[in-house]
Amino acid sequence: MEKVLFIGLGHMGASLVKGVLQNNKEDIEVYGFDAIKEVQQKALNEISNLKSISEISDIKKLQINCIVIGVRPIDVKELCEQIDNLNLANITVICMANAVSISDLQKSFQKSKTISIIRMMPNMNASIQKSVTALATNNASADQLEFAKNLFKNCGIVEIIDENKFGTFTAISGCSPSYVISFYKAMTEYATENGFSKEQSFEIIKQTIIGSILNVSDPKLDLRKKIDQICVPGGSTIEGQKILDSEKFEKIVKKALKAADQKAKKL
Ligand SMILES: NC(=O)C1=CN([C@@H]2O[C@H](COP(=O)(O)OP(=O)(O)OC[C@H]3O[C@@H](n4cnc5c(N)ncnc54)[C@H](OP(=O)(O)O)[C@@H]3O)[C@@H](O)[C@H]2O)C=CC1
Ligand SMILES: O=C(O)[C@@H]1CCC=N1
């Protein structure tokens, strides 16, 4: 029986635990631990079958095989050093903290030499099992990576990528739900400002966005041609598209992604 411990049950940690336990086909035991006892208790109340530990040293007593770190980047080093002091062997450590590299993590594990490290970047859509999660490693075995992949497939899709792509991946997947929601917010606000109820505007715009993306999901498509097909000459769409183009909408989006990408390389 594999025993997985999630440390940090905040927004991201708790969302992943929910996904894992709702779909658990792997026959694993899932434990949770958070420094804030109210946060830990909230997760235990809300997620059935989640077990808890009361202190880090329980990792050794319970023979946890896999630790998933979901604390903020600034707290990772101290936490890893605390875990390292337990002198663990043959354990997988998966860390989702932004901009914390595999080599940063390895430096914190000086005593527990047989620790396999997997870097991970999920996104907030894990809360509805729609995360796009990246994993990278340079010392985990194929079996350990497969275990991690199957674990997080319970929360959405999983891509194995090279660690040097983590900055860009973080921007286009970890951070981008925020940018997509900004777009959705502007659209729904426009609808409600012009007489639609919130319920109706959310439904209309949700379905329009989902439909538009599904309609152009073939990578062979030329997206500008698709845009031009909707912009009927002399029609309405072109008037809005002219504003997006002259205000350099695509350039602004890329600028935002670049800023996030650079920050994900070094916080
Ligand atoms: N939010 C997002 O969309 C995404 C976040 N991430 C990454 O996930 C991680 C968590 O983010 P998020 O869930 O948003 O953050 P939260 O602040 O919501 O959750 C982090 C939790 O971990 C607790 N914690 C801190 N140190 C320890 C410790 N030593 N032992 C146990 N618990 C501890 C925190 O308590 P306290 O408040 O006391 O510090 C807090 O409750 C971050 O590293 C972030 O980079 C990755 C992808 C997406
Ligand atoms: O903003 C952050 O740093 C984290 C990583 C991706 C999403 N949230």
Domain CATH code at residue 209: 1.10.3730.10
Q: Are residues 143 and 201 in the same domain?
A: no
Q: Are residues 260 and 175 in the same domain?
A: yes
Residue 33 lies in a domain: yes
Structural domain for 224, as ranges: 171-265
Q: Are residues 180 and 153 in the same domain?
A: no
Domain stop point among 105, 139, 161: 161
Q: Choose the residue to mutate in 98, 121, 168 for probing ligand 2, maximizing ligand atoms within 8 Å of C-beta.
A: 98
Residue 72 lies in a domain: yes
Q: Are residues 135 and 206 in the same domain?
A: no
Residue 96 lies in a domain: yes
CA distance 106 to 173: 25
Evaluate whether 40 touches 9 at the Cβ level (below 8 Å).
yes
CA distance 137 to 117: 6
Any residues with Cβ below 6 Å from ligand 2, and which? Answer: 98, 170, 174-175
E strand spans, the chain: 2-7, 28-33, 51-52, 66-69, 91-95, 115-121, 131-137, 156-160
Task: Count other Cβ atoms within 10 Å, centred on residue 249.
Answer: 13
Q: Are residues 115 and 199 in the same domain?
A: no
Q: Are residues 49 and 97 in the same domain?
A: yes
Q: What spacing in Å lies between the alpha carbon of 70 and ligand 1's midpoint? A: 5
Q: Are residues 32 and 65 in the same domain?
A: yes
Q: What is the model's pLDDT at position 12?
A: 97
Residue 58 lies in a domain: yes
Residue 210 lies in a domain: yes
Q: What is the model's pLDDT at position 23?
A: 83
121 labelled ligand-binding = no
Ligand 1: atom nearest CA of 13 is 13
8 labelled ligand-binding = yes
Residue 175 lies in a domain: yes
Domain stop point among 161, 186, 221: 161
CA distance 226 to 195: 30
Report residue 46 as tokens: 């809300």
SS3 content of the chain, % helix, strand, coil (to 5): 55, 15, 30
Q: Are residues 200 and 156 in the same domain?
A: no
CA atoms within 13 A on the CB side of 98: 20
Instruction: Name which residue sits closest to atom 5 of ligand 1, judged by CA.
Output: 12
DSSP 3-state assignment of 217?
coil
11 labelled ligand-binding = yes
Evaluate whether 132 touches 120 at the Cβ level (below 8 Å).
no
- Minimum-distance ligand to the CA of 36? 1
Residue 5 sits at φ, ψ, to 5 deg, of: -115, 125
Residue 66 lies in a domain: yes
CA distance 266 to 100: 8
Provide the residue type at 55 as one letter.
Answer: E
174 labelled ligand-binding = no
In this structure, is the dihedral angle defined by the CA atoms of residues 11, 26, 84 and 166, taken in order, positive or negative? negative
Q: Are residues 155 and 184 in the same domain?
A: no
In CATH, what number is assigned to the domain containing residue 28? 3.40.50.720
Any idea what the Cα angle at residue 156 is, between residues 258 and 13, rounded to 5°? 75
Q: What spacing in Å lies between the alpha carbon of 65 and ligand 2's midpoint? A: 27
CA distance 57 to 75: 18
Ligand 1: atom nearest CA of 122 is 47
pLDDT by 10s per residue, the chain, length 267: 899 999 999 999 999 999 999 987 668 999 999 999 999 999 999 999 999 999 999 999 999 999 999 999 999 999 999 999 999 999 999 999 999 999 999 999 999 878 999 999 999 999 999 999 999 999 999 999 999 999 999 999 999 999 999 999 999 999 999 999 999 999 999 999 999 999 999 999 999 999 999 999 999 999 999 999 999 999 999 999 999 999 999 999 999 999 999 999 987
CA distance 138 to 67: 17
Please measure the distance between the N-terminal and C-terminal CA atoms of the chain and give it in whole angstroms: 37
Which of the 8 DSSP states describes residue 181?
H
For the sheet containing 2-7, what is the strand order? 51-52, 28-33, 2-7, 66-69, 91-95, 115-121, 131-137, 156-160
Q: What spacing in Å lies between the alpha carbon of 13 and ligand 1's midpoint? A: 7
Q: Are residues 139 and 216 in the same domain?
A: no
Any residues with Cβ below 6 Å from ligand 1, and which? Answer: 7-8, 10-13, 33-36, 39, 70-73, 75, 79, 96-98, 121-124, 174
Give me the number of domains the chain comprises: 2
Q: Are residues 140 and 178 in the same domain?
A: no
Evaluate whether 10 touches 70 at the Cβ level (below 8 Å).
yes
Q: Are residues 109 and 198 in the same domain?
A: no
Residue 166 lies in a domain: no
Q: What spacing in Å lies between the alpha carbon of 73 and ligand 1's midpoint? A: 8
- Minimum-distance ligand to the CA of 170? 2
Domain stop point among 112, 139, 161: 161
